[in-house]
Amino acid sequence: MKQFLITPAAGKRLIAKGMSKHPLIQKSLESGRIVIIAGTSNGYVAEEILSSIHQEDGFSRKRFFRGIVMPPGQPVTEKGTLNDETGFPGDVIIEDGVWEKGATIFDVADDLRPGDVILKGANAFNREKGQSAVYIGDTHGGTIGTALQAVVGRRVSLILPVGVEKRVWTDLNEMALKLNSIESQGPRLLPVPGEIFTEIEAISTLTGAEADLIAGGGVCGAEGSIWLGVTGIEEQVKSATKLLNSIASEKPFEL
């Protein structure tokens, strides 16, 4: 077993590289639609997928989100703050390998069909129970509410690129009942059915090696980092080493 420290930013880049090679993504690039719903992690995913089809020109991660989590004292949910959609570029919609610039999930949701793929970030996941959940701030259910109409109604695939830093051990169905009750305050929580894709799945997809979470934490820029132990045959571990070294110095997300 070889051990690697992965920062949250490096994890986002790793997940993005893995998503670009995901079999469902590769198939939909040839024929079908891919909907990358805006979010900070999905900004990295959009970069990698658009780069793989040589259409990255004109895309920027800088405003590719509708709402973000900032340190205490920096509100982002009021008019005029970063949650205001002024300057929002739209989601990334790719149809038959061509980026439809400016379109959003709301523009295409009714036209999605089996074989299409929606990528949506998550706020929490419980690996043991196979659960994932999304914070809800919008009174109409936000983008995930619209996405689920296609996922449940028309068997569109839903993949949830999410960093291991968002792991929880609580039952997310039970937590949703608490957070969505009339006595609670703050964002609501919606458990969603979809494929959870973390740094661990990315390593397996890209190298064939297996990865296990073995530790976490750090300081001086390593806050939120994870330690992964990677195992496999010699070629797989070498490939994983090269891959993880290449993303190790990924800079933190900046607005």
Q: Does 254 or 247 have the greater pLDDT score?
A: 247
- Least confident range from 82-96, 152-166, 220-234: namely 82-96
Domain-wise residue ranges, the chain: 9-204
Q: What is the mean pLDDT of residues 26-50?
A: 97
Q: What is the mean pLDDT of residues 57-70?
A: 86
> DSSP letter string over the chain?
-EEEEE-HHHHHHHHHHHHHT-HHHHHHHHSSEEEE---HHHHHHHHHHHHHTT--TT--STT--S-----TT---SSTTSTTS-TT----EEEETTEE-TT--HHHHGGG--BTBEEE---SEEETTTTEEEEEE-STT-HHHHHHHHHHHHH--EEEEE--GGGB--S-HHHHHHHHTSTT--S-EEEE--SEEE-HHHHHHHHHS-EEEEEEE--STT-TT-EEEEEES-HHHHHHHHHHHHHHTTPPPP--
pLDDT tier, 128 (very low <50, low <70, confident <90, very high otherwise): very high
Q: What is the mean pLDDT of residues 111-119?
A: 97
Over residues 203-227, the pLDDT tens digits come to 999 999 999 999 999 999 899 999 9
Q: What is the mean pLDDT of residues 13-31?
A: 97
pLDDT at site 66: 86
Say yes or no to pLDDT of 178 above 50.
yes
pLDDT at site 78: 44
pLDDT at site 158: 98
| Topology given in CATH for the domain delimited by 9-204 | Rossmann fold (3.40.50)
Say yes or no to pLDDT of 110 above 80.
yes
Over residues 80-89, the pLDDT tens digits come to 344 455 578 8
State the chain's mean pLDDT as an integer: 93
Q: Does 81 or 150 have the greater pLDDT score?
A: 150
pLDDT at site 73: 75
pLDDT at site 228: 98
Over residues 188-197, the pLDDT tens digits come to 999 999 999 9
Q: Does 5 or 139 have the greater pLDDT score?
A: 5
Say yes or no to pLDDT of 146 above 50.
yes
